[in-house]
Amino acid sequence: MRADGAFVSVPEVTPALLSRYDVPGPRYTSYPAVPDWRGAFDHAAWAGHLAVLGTSAAPLALYVHLPFCASRCLYCGCNATVTTRAEVVDRYLTRLYRELDMLANAMGERAHVCEMHWGGGTPNFLTDRQCEQLFARLQDTFGIDARTECSVEADPRLVTREQLRTFRQLGFSRISYGVQDVDEAVQEAIGRVQPVSMVRDMVELARTEGFASLNLDLIYGLPRQTPGSFSRTIETALSMAPDRVACFGYAHVPWMKAHQKRIEESTLPRASERFALFRDAVRRFTNGGYRWIGIDHFARPEDPLSLAADAGRLHRNFMGYTTRSGEHLLGIGTSSISEIDGWFAQNAADLGPWQREIDAHRLPIARGHVMSDDDRQRGTAIAHLMCNAELPFDLFPGDIEPLVDAYEQCAADGLVRFESDRLTVTPLGRFFLRNLAFPLDAYRGAADGTRRFSRAV
Ligand code: SF4
């Protein structure tokens, strides 16, 4: 990889190396990962802790979860509810406003919101009226103003010009479309058919309506994907010139997501094929002028993500990669996750339990974790590794010798190099960043061979 982040050659891997690293593991959007949380507090303690938001100078980011979709995509790993009825959304929003009231009471003072993201589900399943009402309630509760960077996920199958106008008038400047794969056979296998012409029209419309930034989500490892079909997907994405591309690996976890059982496992690409698909994406996007960011993102060189990566200012939280450091993240709605001053909390994932908690006037958290000093140090080291592809030894708490031992196999496999003061990830190692965090993870143990996490390759 050249210093400017563009690839001049993409490494080959042997089957033996691939099978050594094709094991389950976290994506490290938090440390510890959610399945490792110890759940040490209840809703009252969480409410008490939120008072820190009233006095903290650190920026606040909001994530609003809108779980409704018109139909179920078979690969879906999100927390989503399929419905055709607008009144179901109204009932959800009524509860969401009560959650906002409880959060406002707990926070005391208003915190300024630097960033707000609406995710799902399908946020653009909401009607214009519902979007306007929700935005107004969020404005009433938090210090949302013209400085707040607002982004929204949208399903191109449902987008209309009026809807894009509404989002723009409300202040959304970033939009992300789910594309996944443009091949018809793949789209049929995943239960999500959307012609390329439709996506292209929606991309054009988003530009015409003035969105400053456009992201496309792709997924590799889907059923019936082949190098040829995915190559066409990459080519199509490049032709639309998005500012950012997220290229996620499909997580096949039918024991956690029952609808994935409808995907025939024999149609899924094998590990070596999955690796080849992603390697092709890295090659094509970097040769197409994009920077490879973290594990699975690509951004144009002038994009804030690329500038932050170049300057070593990239950070990682539950929303993915971000350019802001030390921010608090407050999640609202079912399954959303918060990270406030060393405390993690996740809301109840299912509508029923979430509603019941709100109706009982309790913040609807289902689990949480308070970071220890060791968690903070390891979390900082892991985040640095996931963002900067290096591990300065002074970030690692404790004795370095066992750590050097733990990375010996990785060094022998050509994934890392030992320098005098740090571990540097090689171009080949970039493909295994998740694996390279494992030696830093004190919670990693025997149970990781079970079905707690998706595969790292
Ligand atoms: S639109 Fe998105 S959230 Fe909804 S079912 Fe499909 S993948 Fe899941």
Number of Cβ atoms within 10 Å of the Cβ of 376: 13
Q: Please state, in angstroms and rounded to a whole number, the distance separating the CA atoms of residues 399 and 294.
A: 27
Report pLDDT for 48: 96
Q: Please state, in angstroms and rounded to a whole number, the distance separating the CA atoms of residues 36 and 25.
A: 12
pLDDT tens sequence across 189-239: 999 999 999 999 999 999 999 999 999 999 999 999 999 999 999 999 999
Report pLDDT for 7: 53
Report pLDDT for 324: 79
Distance 75 CA to ligand 1 centre (A): 8
**Three state DSSP letters for the chain:** CCCCCCCCCCCCCCHHHHHHHCCECCCCCCCCCHHHCCCCCCHHHHHHHCCHHHHCCCCEEEEEEECEECCCCCCCCCCCEECCCHHHHHHHHHHHHHHHHHHHHHHCCCCEEEEEEEEECCHHHCCHHHHHHHHHHHHHHCECCCCCEEEEEECCCCCCHHHHHHHHHHCEEEEEEEEECCCHHHHHHCCCCCCHHHHHHHHHHHHHCCCCEEEEEEEECCCCCCHHHHHHHHHHHHHCCCCEEEEEECCCCCCCCHHHHHCCHHHCCCHHHHHHHHHHHHHHHHHCCCEEECCCEEECCCCHHHHHHHCCCCEEECCEEECCCCCEEEEECCCCEEEECCEEEEECCCHHHHHHHHHCCCCCEEEEEECCHHHHHHHHHHHHHHHHCEEEHHHCCCCCHHHHHHCHHHHHCCCEEECCCEEEECCCHHHHHHHHHHHHCCCCCHHHHCCCCCECC
Instruction: Among 8-12, 94-98, 284-288, 311-315, name the one with the lowest average pLDDT.
Output: 8-12
Say yes or no: CB of residue 333 within 6 Å of ligand 1: no
By the 8 A CB rule, do 184 and 145 touch? no
Q: Please state, in angstroms and rounded to a whole number, the distance separating the CA atoms of residues 6 and 287.
A: 6
- Measured distance between the N- and C-terminal CA atoms of the chain, rounded to whole angstroms: 20
- Mean model confidence pLDDT for the chain: 92
Report pLDDT for 192: 97
Evaluate the omega torsion of the peptide bond into residue 121 and state whether it is cis, within 30 degrees of 0: yes
- Tell me the two tokens of residue 369: 């974790």
Distance 457 CA to ligand 1 centre (A): 23
Instruction: Determine the average pLDDT of the residues in 351-378.
Output: 96
pLDDT tens sequence across 249-298: 999 999 999 999 999 999 999 999 999 999 999 999 999 999 999 999 99
Instruction: Determine the average pLDDT of the residues in 88-112.
Output: 92
Nearest CA, atom 6, ligand 1 = 73
Task: Please name which of 164, 202, 176, 67 lies closest in space to residue 117, comparing C-alpha atoms.
Answer: 176
Task: Please name which of 48, 22, 117 lies closest in space to residue 363, comparing C-alpha atoms.
Answer: 48
Report pLDDT for 197: 97
Say yes or no: CB of residue 155 within 6 Å of ligand 1: yes
Say yes or no: CB of residue 154 within 6 Å of ligand 1: no
Report pLDDT for 339: 96
Say yes or no: CB of residue 222 within 6 Å of ligand 1: no
pLDDT tens sequence across 107-118: 987 777 999 999
Distance 66 CA to ligand 1 centre (A): 11
Q: Is the pLDDT of residue 449 over 70?
A: no
By the 8 A CB rule, do 434 and 393 touch? no
**Residue given tokens 């092709």 in the structure block:** 280
Q: Which phi and psi (to 5°) does residue 371 adopt? A: -70, 135
Say yes or no: CB of residue 179 within 6 Å of ligand 1: no
Say yes or no: CB of residue 121 within 6 Å of ligand 1: yes
Instruction: Determine the average pLDDT of the residues in 18-42.
Output: 92
Rounded (10°) CA dihedral 154, 156, 158, 164: 60
- Residue 3 pLDDT level (bands cut at 50, 70, 90): very low
Q: Please state, in angstroms and rounded to a whole number, the distance separating the CA atoms of residues 110 and 366.
A: 25
By the 8 A CB rule, do 387 and 314 touch? yes
Number of Cβ atoms within 10 Å of the Cβ of 110: 15
pLDDT tens sequence across 304-348: 999 999 999 999 998 889 887 768 999 999 999 999 999 999 999
CATH class of the domain comprising 1-32+372-457: mainly alpha
Say yes or no: CB of residue 76 within 6 Å of ligand 1: yes
Of ligand 1's atoms, which has the minimum distance to the CA of residue 71?
5
- Tell me the two tokens of residue 6: 């563009």
Beta bridge partners of 220: 249
Quote the percentage of the chain above a pLDDT of 90.
Answer: 83
Q: Please state, in angstroms and rounded to a whole number, the distance separating the CA atoms of residues 397 and 415.
A: 22
Say yes or no: CB of residue 69 within 6 Å of ligand 1: yes
Say yes or no: CB of residue 120 within 6 Å of ligand 1: yes
Distance 28 CA to ligand 1 centre (A): 22
Rounded (10°) CA dihedral 37, 39, 40, 44: 130
Report pLDDT for 303: 97
- Residue 450 pLDDT level (bands cut at 50, 70, 90): low
- Tell me the two tokens of residue 223: 């059923």
Q: Please state, in angstroms and rounded to a whole number, the distance separating the CA atoms of residues 87 and 94.
A: 10
Beta bridge partners of 248: 219
Report pLDDT for 443: 93
Say yes or no: CB of residue 67 within 6 Å of ligand 1: no
Report pLDDT for 1: 45
Please report, for the chain, the start and end positions of each structural domain, with discontinuous segments joined by +: 1-32+372-457, 36-65+84-146+313-370, 156-300
- Tell me the two tokens of residue 18: 């691939």
Nearest CA, atom 3, ligand 1 = 121
Residue type, 194: Q
> CATH fold of 156-300, please?
Transcription Regulator spoIIAA (3.30.750)
Instruction: Determine the average pLDDT of the residues in 130-145.
Output: 93
Q: Is the pLDDT of residue 89 over 50?
A: yes
- Tell me the two tokens of residue 225: 């994907």
